[in-house]
């Protein structure tokens, strides 16, 4: 984790005065915030200054242990360094860092030369296993074996209210945006769309319970999923925009009743009905037919039944879906289909719970489905404090695939329109 200050023959280690002004400038504060975010440590208001001061005065061995490095390498580095991180704020690190300083994580200048800002580097050291010793602690944990580069996907996880571990991956840099996928899929379904957004947003792609990076329980209730997403949002530690697609839509709205860390909600063709409403549609015996296919180990048949018989896709569209990388993820998540099919038509929310959501809400509808979905969307908006409907011209349920730029523009416009301006 650290490098020893430079020395010459017959001289002890030398250090330069720590430049507190440089450490306090906004650029360094942002770097500290980003590093803690990459490590999965929540960044809440008022916490960064305290964390910075703690790190600057802590023994290297203590910091290494906190960050999860194995005892052997951490202790060896600590013995060589022998001082706190504070002494590495400025000066010569050339004796053992070979121009790269693992403490400040930037390139170091030769002795006697002014430090120049250059590309930052990450230093890889052996780390302990990514899973904590117990699941009682809700703090997010990273699952990489080494510190990641800022532009690489970062995997993290946290523990939900019922002890289930929920995982997500983060791509890009910028304002935080979380995407919650629909039924019969995992986070990979939205990866191409996340890549499109990654220059503007830090996109968090969550795996809902029962698939991918996330665990599951024997019993299921959609309100557990509200808690899951709220737990991830709070573990990220920044107020963010939450977008849910299809079955993920009502989950996003439900999560907004659990935490005030959600700055705004976008639900794309998926939201709850009002309490006391009849089921939004009938599924007949579809859940039983899907379960029978799963019992006979025919996952492909189960997923095909959903998209052919319930969604209404033709054989050509199904053939295209099978070519997508997310098809294998759909097969892996097929066991969640029966429970979600039974739940989806009955998802409801009380008007009082809707009225308690302070975050602005955007309900997105494809124009191909407007006649069927607009009445329910308008009814929901009438019970929300700040809500609106946006129609995607010429689109249906899959604008992530058919018109990603159009959907991305709608998202960005909503975020910008609901972001407070300085002096407002």
pLDDT tens digit at each of 424 positions of the chain: 433 333 334 444 443 443 444 444 445 555 665 665 666 555 554 555 565 566 666 655 556 555 555 555 555 555 555 444 444 333 333 333 333 333 333 333 344 444 333 333 333 333 333 333 334 344 455 444 333 445 678 999 999 999 999 999 999 989 999 999 999 899 999 999 999 999 999 999 999 999 999 999 999 999 999 999 999 999 999 999 999 999 999 999 999 999 999 999 999 999 999 988 888 788 889 999 999 999 999 999 999 999 898 888 889 889 988 988 889 999 999 999 999 999 999 999 999 999 999 999 999 999 999 999 999 999 999 999 999 999 999 999 999 999 999 999 999 999 999 986 544 3
Q: What global pTM score does this model have?
A: 0.66
Q: Is residue 199 part of a domain?
A: yes
Are 337 and 309 spatial neighbours (Cβ–Cβ below 8 Å)?
A: no
Looking at the structure, do residues 148 and 77 belong to the same domain, yes or no? no
What's the token pair of residue 407? 């959907």
The two beta strands, 106-107 and 273-274, are: unpaired
CB-based burial label for 351 (10 Å; 0-12, 13-18, 19+):
middle
Q: Is residue 42 part of a domain?
A: yes
The pLDDT, as a whole number, for residue 277 is: 86
Q: Could you give the CA distance from residue 117 to residue 133 in angstroms, rounded to a whole number?
A: 39
Q: Is residue 271 part of a domain?
A: yes
Q: Is residue 45 part of a domain?
A: yes
Query: Which residues, 6+ apart, have CB-to-CB distance to 239 below 8 Å?
Result: 176, 261, 262, 263
Q: Is residue 8 part of a domain?
A: no
The pLDDT, as a whole number, for residue 226 is: 98
Looking at the structure, do residues 94 and 175 belong to the same domain, yes or no? no
Helical H runs in 148-221? 191-197
The pLDDT, as a whole number, for residue 224 is: 97
Indicate the number of domains in the chain: 2
What's the token pair of residue 318? 């199904």
Q: Could you give the CA distance from residue 339 to residue 344 in angstroms, rounded to a whole number?
A: 9
Looking at the structure, do residues 159 and 227 belong to the same domain, yes or no? yes
The domain that holds 181 is classified in CATH as 3.40.50.1820
Looking at the structure, do residues 54 and 203 belong to the same domain, yes or no? no
The pLDDT, as a whole number, for residue 283 is: 83
The pLDDT, as a whole number, for residue 54 is: 63
Q: Could you give the CA distance from residue 362 to residue 388 in angstroms, rounded to a whole number?
A: 5
Looking at the structure, do residues 388 and 255 belong to the same domain, yes or no? yes
The pLDDT, as a whole number, for residue 106 is: 33
Compute and round to an integer the Cα radius of gyration of the chain: 25
Are 176 and 170 spatial neighbours (Cβ–Cβ below 8 Å)?
A: no
Looking at the structure, do residues 186 and 49 belong to the same domain, yes or no? no
The pLDDT, as a whole number, for residue 41 is: 58
Q: Is residue 312 part of a domain?
A: no
Give the range of the structural domain holding residue 87, as residue numbers without chain letter. 20-107
Q: Could you give the CA distance from residue 39 to residue 42 in angstroms, rounded to a whole number?
A: 9
Helical H runs in 7-47? 20-24, 26-38
Q: Could you give the CA distance from residue 81 to residue 102 in angstroms, rounded to a whole number?
A: 12
Q: Could you give the CA distance from residue 180 to residue 357 in angstroms, rounded to a whole number?
A: 18
Looking at the structure, do residues 25 and 173 belong to the same domain, yes or no? no
The pLDDT, as a whole number, for residue 126 is: 38
Looking at the structure, do residues 152 and 196 belong to the same domain, yes or no? yes
Looking at the structure, do residues 214 and 101 belong to the same domain, yes or no? no
Looking at the structure, do residues 68 and 212 belong to the same domain, yes or no? no
The pLDDT, as a whole number, for residue 77 is: 53
HSE (side-chain half, CA atoms, 13 Å) at 126? 9
* CA distances in angstroms from 336 to 195, 211, 272, 398, listed in the order given: 26, 8, 19, 20
Looking at the structure, do residues 145 and 103 belong to the same domain, yes or no? no
Q: Could you give the CA distance from residue 261 to residue 204 in angstroms, rounded to a whole number?
A: 14
Q: Is residue 69 part of a domain?
A: yes
Kindly state the DSSP code that residue 190 receives in the 8-state scheme. G
Query: Which residues, 6+ apart, have CB-to-CB distance to 319 below 8 Å?
Result: none
Looking at the structure, do residues 70 and 149 belong to the same domain, yes or no? no
Q: Is residue 309 part of a domain?
A: no
């Amino acid at each position: 984790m650290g490098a020893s200050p430079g020395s010459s023959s017959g001289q002890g280690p030398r250090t330069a005065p720590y430049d507190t002004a440089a450490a306090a400038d906004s650029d360094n504060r942002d770097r500290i915030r980003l590093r803690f975010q990459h490590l999965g440590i929540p960044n809440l208001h008022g916490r960064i200054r305290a964390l910075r001061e703690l790190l600057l005065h802590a023994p290297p061995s203590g910091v290494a242990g906190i960050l999860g490095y194995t005892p052997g390498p951490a202790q060896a580095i600590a013995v060589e360094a022998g001082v706190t991180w504070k002494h590495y704020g400025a000066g010569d690190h050339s004796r053992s860092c070979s121009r790269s300083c693992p403490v400040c994580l930037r390139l170091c200048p030769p002795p006697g030369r002014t430090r120049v800002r250059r590309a930052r580097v990450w230093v890889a050291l052996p780390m302990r296993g990514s899973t904590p010793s117990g699941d009682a602690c809700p703090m997010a944990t990273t699952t990489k074996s080494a510190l990641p580069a800022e532009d690489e996907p970062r995997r993290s996880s946290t523990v939900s209210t019922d002890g289930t571990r929920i995982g997500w991956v983060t791509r890009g840099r910028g304002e935080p945006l979380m995407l919650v996928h629909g039924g019969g899929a995992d986070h990979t379904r939205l990866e191409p769309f996340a890549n499109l957004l990654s220059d503007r947003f830090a996109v968090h792609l969550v795996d809902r319970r029962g698939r991918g990076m996330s665990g599951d329980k024997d019993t299921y209730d959609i309100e557990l999923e509200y808690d899951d997403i709220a737990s991830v949002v709070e573990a990220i530690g920044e107020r963010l925009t939450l977008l849910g697609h299809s079955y993920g839509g009502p989950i996003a709205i439900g999560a907004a009743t659990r935490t005030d860390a959600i700055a705004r909600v976008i639900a794309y063709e998926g939201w709850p009905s009002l309490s006391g409403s009849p089921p939004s549609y009938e599924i007949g015996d579809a859940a039983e037919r899907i379960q029978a296919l799963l019992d006979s180990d025919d996952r492909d048949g189960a997923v095909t039944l959903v998209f052919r018989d319930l969604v209404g896709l033709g054989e050509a569209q199904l053939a295209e879906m099978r070519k997508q990388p997310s098809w294998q993820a759909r097969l892996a998540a097929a066991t969640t289909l029966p429970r979600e099919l039974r739940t989806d038509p009955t998802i409801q929310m009380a008007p009082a719970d809707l009225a308690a959501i302070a975050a602005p809400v955007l309900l997105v509808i494809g124009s191909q489905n407007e006649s069927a979905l607009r009445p329910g969307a308008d009814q929901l908006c009438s019970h929300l404090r700040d809500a609106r409907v946006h129609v995607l011209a010429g689109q249906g349920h899959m604008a992530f695939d058919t018109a990603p730029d159009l959907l991305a523009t709608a998202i960005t416009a909503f975020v910008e329109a609901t972001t407070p301006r300085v002096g407002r």
